[in-house]
Amino acid sequence: MKIASIVGARPQFIKLAPFSREIRKRHREVLIDTGQHYDEEMAGNFFSEFRIPKPDHSLGIGSADHGEQTGKMLIAIEKVLLSEQPALAVVFGDTNSTLAGALGAAKLGIPVAHVEAGLRSYDSSMPEEQNRVLTDHLSRLLFCPTDAARDNLKREGIASGVHVVGDVMVDSLEESRLAAEKRSRILEDLKLRKKAYQLLTVHRPSNTDVKENLLAILEAIGGSKVPTVFPVHPRTAGCLSDYGLEGNLPKNIITTKPLSHMDTIHLVANSQKVLTDSGGLQKEAYILGVPCITLRETTEWTETVDVGWNRLVGADPEKIKEAISNFAPPHYRPRVFGHPGASERIAGIMDDFLSKG
């Protein structure tokens, strides 16, 4: 059978890698890359790091306002799907590439499978939340990482085609963790001692595009005096430059370019704490047993908060400082994201679905 996998942004390459390897054992995968992320550090390096095969269709859409970006993707994806006629289209996560892929396929009557279905932050102002809800309602197969995700879908009346399979990132994380232990030199390169630094990432428009929020976060972290590694996303780099902050950050903040997944995982695993507004990093910190301070008011990874390993602080400097000094999770850390092997479980369910026609 021919299966179209549609990706475009950095977190999707991470989720695609283990899935793609599994699905290629059983079917012909047609890989479509929208080009939402295009820099070497944001895209190219991930293809080589995860040994992802060259895309069959590189759409080269690139950056634009949300409507324009999603619209251009939809037009290009429809053309590819019309010529390829896959039996199933697979989308990952919650980016504009996810929604464009799901919408393009659904409008052509091609069944959609959503990997990482059912997540909700219940903050409808987030573009990712809009993408998640719409994608789930267009999907025939919904692969949930957790029971909470399944329950969210149930509340929206979606019960058919829903499968709790665990999280595909558990698979890629295990791979990157083992590779990192052997090969990552990032601690030596940045002259960091294990558990004597924290890791910071900020890229959500609600933090980067509001100058006061970005300033509040950086000043609060500066005040902590803890050495803080800060790989800077291109969106954030643009904002730092616009606000005159480039080269002007508190002395304990060590900036880097966006890093490989292997180096990121090595930094997470050996950090005191992670401070982030990313979804994926909240999950990775939890799986690796590192306390996470989330620079948002809401999260879609609610389990990590419920079990006391993740604290939501928004961009509030007092809450950030307090969490850096005092946040200490409990000893108990249940396996909420499931066991390795989610990709294999997903592929098996897809086989059943396809064999029923």
d(CA 346, CA 357): 17
What are the distances in angstroms from CA 212 to CA 112, 156, 218, 336?
Answer: 40, 36, 10, 35
Binding mask 274-313 for ligand UD1 (x = CB under 6 A): ----x-----------------------------------
- Provide the β-strand partners of residue 112: 89
- C-beta separation of 323 from 313 below 8 A: yes
88-92 and 112-115: which strand pairing?
parallel
- Size of interface with ligand UD1, in residues (CB under 6 A): 21
Tokens coding 26: 């059983």
Q: Which of 5, 6, 7, 10 binds ligand UD1 (CB under 6 A)?
A: 10
Q: Least distance (Å) from ligand UD1 to the CB of residue 351? A: 30
Q: Which range binds ligand UD1 by CB under 6 A, 4-12, 144-152, 176-184, 246-254? A: 4-12
The piece of 6-14, 138-146, 181-189, 286-294 that touches ligand UD1 (CB under 6 A) is: 6-14
Q: Check binding of 128 to ligand UD1 (CB under 6 A).
A: yes
Q: Distance between terminal CA atoms of the chain? A: 11
Cβ partners under 8 Å of residue 202, min gap 6? 208, 214, 217, 230, 233, 236, 276, 277, 295
Contact 12, 98 (CB under 8 A): yes
- Name residue, tokens 């969210």: 152
Supply the DSSP symbol for 85: -
Judged by beta carbon, residue 117 or residue 350, the one nearer ligand UD1 is: 117
Rule CB under 6 A: choose which of 39, 68, 147, 318 binds ligand UD1.
Answer: 39
Residue 71 in the binding site for ligand UD1 (CB under 6 A): no
Which window, 33-41, 153-161, 210-218, 317-325, contacts ligand UD1 (CB under 6 A)? 33-41
Report, as residue numbers or ranges, the catalytic residues: 203
Kindly state whether residue 203 participates in binding ligand UD1, applying the rule CB under 6 A.
yes
- Give the residues lining the site for ligand UD1 (CB under 6 A): 9-11, 36-39, 42-43, 63, 94-96, 127-128, 203, 233-235, 238, 278
